[in-house]
Structure 1
Amino acid sequence: MPQDETLQMLKALTDAKGIPGNEREARHVMKEYIAPFADEVSTDGLGSLVAVKKGDENGPKIMVAGHLDEVGFMVTQIDEKGFIRFQTVGGWWSQVMLAQRVTITTKKGDITGVIGSKPPHILPPEARKKPVEIKEMFIDIGASSKEEAAEWGVTPGDMVTPYFEFTVMNNEKMLLAKAWDNRIGCAIAIDVLKGLQNEQHPNVVYGVGTVQEEVGLRGARTSAQMIQPDIGFGVDVGIAGDTPGVSSKDALSKMGDGPQIVLYDASMVSHKGLRDFVTGVADEKGIPYQFDSMAGGGTDSGAIHLTANGVPALSITIPTRYIHSHAAMLHRDDFENAVKLIVEVIKRLDRKTVDQITFD
């Protein structure tokens, strides 16, 4: 276990298992870490965690949302030989799945499996050149029959998660883990409340762990409806463009160069007034940042900004390599600078400033 308190939190969050609709374990971890800094903690009807920290009770409501769920799989059936058929839950690229270890969470405990397919040695040459389709894959848990798998507790509907342990790399700023998408957003929400502990802030801050983001921004919709925020921040992962073969026209951001201020994605055009305010604070405090835009994909901001009469919202993301796979990598400095930036922004979001951002 890492000695550093922050690394302990990041390990606990990322090692936790929680696909969309099964976020309980991740929610409990987030609650454990955020509760000491919150005045109250509650859950909405879908299971999103809402931690409230009150500065000025009559001030604007500021929502900082990271999603609890990770991409994974769900058991759909067990065949006669004990092999598991499954459904992806969230977006997966077939090429990152084969021969990967997974954990099936059953009513009798966790079971280890591996994703398999027909071996290439017995395929015709043309078939070998093509990626294996997800529908042709299965999970092998070492069972000899359907009855044995059932005896071990495997049931259709069981959650299946990638298996990977949190790892600090040789460059200790580089952190490798499953589920950075989006336990890093949950960690940002926790540390923002922590960073406001001894600070005056003219507002009420909501640190939120939303559910079911990967299947349609669902928990952000319900939790924002409950909160009715005046300003919303979706904190999530973004694409790092600093690996071989990626050009600047594909993705601009580099790990370690600061959090990403998202200009637009498929779910939202960011609010220009809020975006300008945030970058102004970053410039004033010397906090590094990068601009990013994504033609595909979206974040919780996409649901938050459509709440009630509309909410000025902005996505602040962490450049991350290899998302939606078993292991992703990010840079600790980007996480810490995102927290620092959001804390500084919140300290300035009084009623007058929020009204100016919203109605100017």
Structure 2
Amino acid sequence: MKKLLEELTGLHGPCGNEQPVSKWVRDRVTSLVDEVRVDALGNVFATKKGTKPGPKMVMTAHMDEVGFIVKKVEANGLLRFEKLGGNDDRLLLTQKVQLRTKKGLLTGVIGSISAHYAKFDDASKVRNHRQLYIDIGAKNKEQVTQMGVEVGTPVTWKPNMEYLGDETTGRFVGKGFDDRAGCAVMITLLEELDRTDFTGTVTAVFTVQEEVGLRGAQVAARQVEADVAIALDTTAVSDTPEETMDGTLAIGEGTGIKVLDFSLISHPAVKNALVSLADEKEIPYQLEVFPGIGTDGGAMSLANNGVPTGVLSIPSRYAHSPVEVIDMRDLVATKELLKAFILSLEEASRFTFIEE
């Protein structure tokens, strides 16, 4: 999955500007499924039919990443910007970014004062992103235009995936794991299902604009019939020493089986099925209660007449930064549990709220 993840995180696709990712995913999965389509917002639907009739299962992961968008070009060639998704102002200074223009990709940096000026500044001050700027090396507004940058040009962190430490750690650092990691799991699973008998129908939905309010999933959910749904996303761990961390979720300890977040209370029958399968297959997992996050599962659960929905979470450190960290063991555990869930489905499988 490493090569797949590297290709996915190298793509430029902030919220509302996911075109390169939508196209890449569509082309990658076409040979693996029976039907592929892209809707008006950019959501990619990939449906694969099983060898026997059975329930309609939907799995989702979002393609967008947090980023920025050019708001204004200053006379001296510096660029003002707005956020696309939940970026923390404390993380922005002196980071490399990548701009996507009609002429190609450009490298920029979010500027800051030199360390030599720090003694004349308020060291405790966190400047709002609207006070910051992106420097692409241009001398003036005219040169910015010549380079292809305009108001509305999308911006992401500069792609930079590599091993954290070295290959012995099994951990990777880079941008966009939220949620290209989930996309990588779904694509890998579609590859494995291409050689496996299963019951029912599986539809993989790669969604857009999750980071700005689950917008793609809200639209996508109305377009599919589902008897059960599983959303895949990364989740923030709490295993570092800051005083706000409580140690309830750790990197490298297995996939997270969602109990609750601010967008979803996981359907009990789906959550219990995932826990039982993880125990049976000896797949490492952690139960996740984290109200500080939301996923496409929240939108899926409210679709049509309501869909029994669960979530598998890939633990991540330093989320929404250019140096997100994930562990390959968690990625594999997520894929294995999702696969076990799909293969456990039978023609009569039902996920009812009240057990009779």
Residue 107 of structure 1 deviates from its aligned partner by 1.1
1:1-360 equivalent positions in 2, closer than 5 A: 6-55=1-50, 58-119=53-114, 121-122=116-117, 127-169=122-164, 170=166, 171-245=168-242, 249=246, 251-356=247-352
How far does residue 297 in structure 1 lie from its aligned partner after superposition?
Answer: 2.0
**Per the alignment, do residues 358 and 222 of structure 1 end up closer, same or farther by CA in structure 2, a change over 3 Å counting?**
farther
Q: State the percentage of identical aligned residues.
A: 35
What's the secondary structure of 1:317's corresponding residue?
A: strand
Q: What is the aligned partner in structure 2 of residue 3 from structure 1?
A: none
When structure 1 is superposed on structure 2, of 170-179 and 299-308 the one drifting more is 170-179
Q: Distance in 1 between matches of 2:69 and 2:225?
A: 33
Distance (Å, rounded) in 2 between the aligned partners of 1:355 and 1:165 = 42
Q: Secondary structure at the match of 2:222?
A: helix
- Structure 2 CA distance for aligned equivalents of residues 29 and 172 of structure 1: 29
Query: Which runs of 5 or more residues in structure 1 are unaligned?
Result: 1-5
SS of residue in 1 equivalent to 2:184: helix
Give the Cα–Cα distance (whole angstroms) in 1 for the partners of residues 205 and 31 of structure 2: 15
* Aligned 8 A contact 1:304 1:313 in 2: yes
- CA drift of 1:155 comes to 0.8
Q: CA deviation at 1:58?
A: 4.3
Q: Aligned equivalents of 1:168 and 1:29: distance in 2? A: 24
**1:130-180 CA distances to partner (integer Å, 9 max, x unpaired)?**
112211100011111111101111111111010132112313511112100
**Helix, strand or coil for the counterpart of 1:181?**
helix
Q: 1:287 to 1:189 in 2, by over 3 A?
A: same
Tell me the amino acid that sits aligned with residue 192 of structure 2. Answer: G
Q: Distance in 2 between matches of 1:118 and 1:180?
A: 30
Q: Distance in 2 between matches of 1:77 and 1:229?
A: 44
The Cα of 1:44 is off from its aligned counterpart by 1.6
Q: Give the match's secondary structure for 1:235.
A: strand
- Structure 2 unmatched runs, 5+: none
TM-score, structure 2 length as denominator?
A: 0.94
CA drift at 1:196? 1.8
Instruction: Label 1:214 to 1:359 Cα distance change in 2 as closer, same or farther (>3 A).
Output: farther
- Is 288-297 or 206-215 further displaced after alignment? 288-297
Residue 192 of structure 1: how far off its partner (Å): 1.8
8 Å Cα contact 1:120-1:128 kept in structure 2: no
The Cα shift of 1:307 comes to: 0.2
Q: Which range moves more in the overlay, 111-120 or 349-358? A: 349-358
- TM-score of the pair, normalised by structure 1: 0.93
Code of the residue aligned with 2:209 in structure 1: it is: Q
Deviation at 1:357, TM superposition (A): 6.2
Residue 199 of structure 1, CA deviation: 2.2
Between the aligned partners of 1:247 and 1:340, the Cα distance in structure 2 is 32
Amino acid at match of 2:23: H
- The CA distance in 2 between the partners of 1:166 and 1:126, in whole Å, is 34
**Post-superposition CA distance 1:248-277 (Å, at most 9, x none):** 63x412222110011111111111111001
Maintained 8 Å contact 2:308/2:351 = no
